[in-house]
Structure 1
Amino acid sequence: MRIALFATCLADAMFPQAAIATVELLERLGHQVVFPSGQTCCGQMHINTGYLGQASELVRHHVEVFEDCDVVVAPSGSCVGSVRHQHAMVARRAGDGALAQRAEAVAARTYELSELLVDVLGVTDVGAYYPHRVTYHPTCHSLRLLRVGDKPLQLLRHVRGLTLVELIGAETCCGFGGTFAIKNADTSTAMLADKMSAVIASSAEVCTAGDSSCLMHIGGGLSRIRSSVRTVHLAEILAATEAS
């Protein structure tokens, strides 16, 4: 299968290892991965902060870049959630019904990584090896907007050498929420403290998730209290092998 990578801003600017791991994993499974070089921000941060007018041009550009692709994958439940649930709405608010229809067509072919693997490719054992104690944080967008369910857990359970440990209160938000963490810093910090306590209580070596944004938030908090727990994107775990 020929799959287009939607890398996302955060991967491009701060966490490229998540995008690289996505490519390595899919190529190892026998698929061709292409990178449409014209891709930019999908507009999620503009939409979430109320700048729908500015976001409409980003939506248009995203559609133009990806509408000829049969399948699109992103290592981010948050950005895929925006493509699926916000792009057509933004286009309609701008009075562009034709763009909304094009956006819906692109959205129907866009998947978060675990969705693509389990639902489209029919794979739960990707041949990964990762000898560590790991706990999984289901990010809000993947859990509530995309409803990926236990797909990431299915994939993690098939990773050789990995010990999957329960995260108490796993479905509770970590407190990031993009600008929420800035505008409501005290509340965000309290939510993060609860999440860190649960991660540490799990006795895991690694906390994983499908969104680099949440991992950045959790990992930043853990580093400030000098915890030994690391945050690693799901794609990196699934891309790992004994050879790596």
Structure 2
Amino acid sequence: MRVALFITCFNDTMYPGVGKATVTVLERLGITVEFPAGQTCCGQMHFNSGYRKECVPLVRNFASVFAGYDAVVTPSASCAAMVRHSHPVVVPGHTPPPVYELSEFLLDVLNVTDVGAYFPHRVAFHPTCHSQRMLRIGDRPQRLLAGVEGLELVELAHAEQCCGFGGTFSVKNAETSIAMGNDKSDDVLSTGASVLASADTSCLMHIGGLLSRRDAPVRTMHLAEILATTR
């Protein structure tokens, strides 16, 4: 099986460790991961801002760079949703490469829930809007976290509610975004968790920033980072 990593521009720029953690997990499971150097933005920022014409070359480049792979794995539910659902909208008739969000690939393709991780901490999980509403990944991340030795997974109240990030929404509607993020932060703090996990670093950046302003003793980690941790 030829597997490629789609790191996404956000992770590449802000959270490169998430990409490394994704590769660590996959290689531990016997998967050889390739990294096509020609990959760039999937076009989500342009698409969501109304610049659909400008998305076309990005869609075509993505298809070209990842052509021939059996699976393209990404640690971003939002970018996976963009490729699967919006690329065919940008270029009618277009069939995107087989892109999987990390938890989808682990459960649906490799059929594993125990990746050999060890993480002795109390963890709450925030399911992002794209992962639930577009990809419909359900409880796949939670099932993976439940398989981590030493980890205590606690339920997050109002988990289905948006954290308020929403890309440019947080810039154009800052006050509303902050209010939503503070509501989410309240729910995180009420769990008593020391770690908040998610499948999108963009949401973790938003929630984590608000938690840090409160000097809250909660760190944010991507799902891949937890799964990559061992004794």
Classify the TM-score, shorter chain: over 0.9
Q: Percent identity?
A: 59
Alignment pair present for 1:193 and 2:182: yes
Which of 194, 209, 222 is matched with 2:211 structurally? 222
Separation of aligned partners in 2, 1:2 and 1:237: 25
Separation of aligned partners in 2, 1:148 and 1:167: 17
**How many angstroms does 1:105 deviate by?**
4.2
Q: Find the counterpart in structure 1 of residue 83 from structure 2.
A: 83
Deviations 1:163-195 (CA, angstroms, capped at 9, x unpaired): 111111111100000001111111111100100
Amino acid at match of 1:66: F
| Residue correspondence of structure 1 range 40-55 to structure 2 within 5 A | 40-55=40-55
Asked whether the 8 Å contact 2:88–2:96 carries over to 1, the reply is: no
Q: Find the counterpart in structure 2 of residue 164 from structure 1.
A: 153
Q: Secondary structure at the match of 1:164?
A: strand
Q: Find the counterpart in structure 1 of residue 113 from structure 2.
A: 124
CA root-mean-square deviation: 0.7
Unpaired runs of 5+ in structure 2? none
Separation of aligned partners in 2, 1:70 and 1:160: 30
Separation of aligned partners in 2, 1:120 and 1:7: 19
Alignment pair present for 1:140 and 2:129: yes
Alignment pair present for 1:59 and 2:59: yes
Alignment pair present for 1:231 and 2:220: yes
Q: Secondary structure at the match of 1:86?
A: helix
Deviations 1:71-98 (CA, angstroms, capped at 9, x unpaired): 1000000000000010011012xxxx4x
Asked whether the 8 Å contact 2:84–2:96 carries over to 1, the reply is: no
Unpaired runs of 5+ in structure 1? none
Q: Find the counterpart in structure 1 of residue 196 from structure 2.
A: 207
Separation of aligned partners in 2, 1:223 and 1:25: 28
Question: Which runs of 4 or more aligned residues in structure 1 lie more than 4 Å from their structure 2 counterparts after TM superposition?
Answer: none
**How many angstroms does 1:2 deviate by?**
2.8
Asked whether the 8 Å contact 2:38–2:65 carries over to 1, the reply is: yes
**How many angstroms does 1:70 deviate by?**
1.2
Q: Find the counterpart in structure 1 of residue 71 from structure 2.
A: 71
Amino acid at match of 1:228: P
Asked whether the 8 Å contact 2:87–2:96 carries over to 1, the reply is: no
Amino acid at match of 1:189: I
Which of 150, 172, 175 is matched with 1:183 structurally? 172
Amino acid at match of 2:39: Q
Q: Count the aligned residue pairs.
A: 231
Separation of aligned partners in 1, 2:118 and 2:143: 15
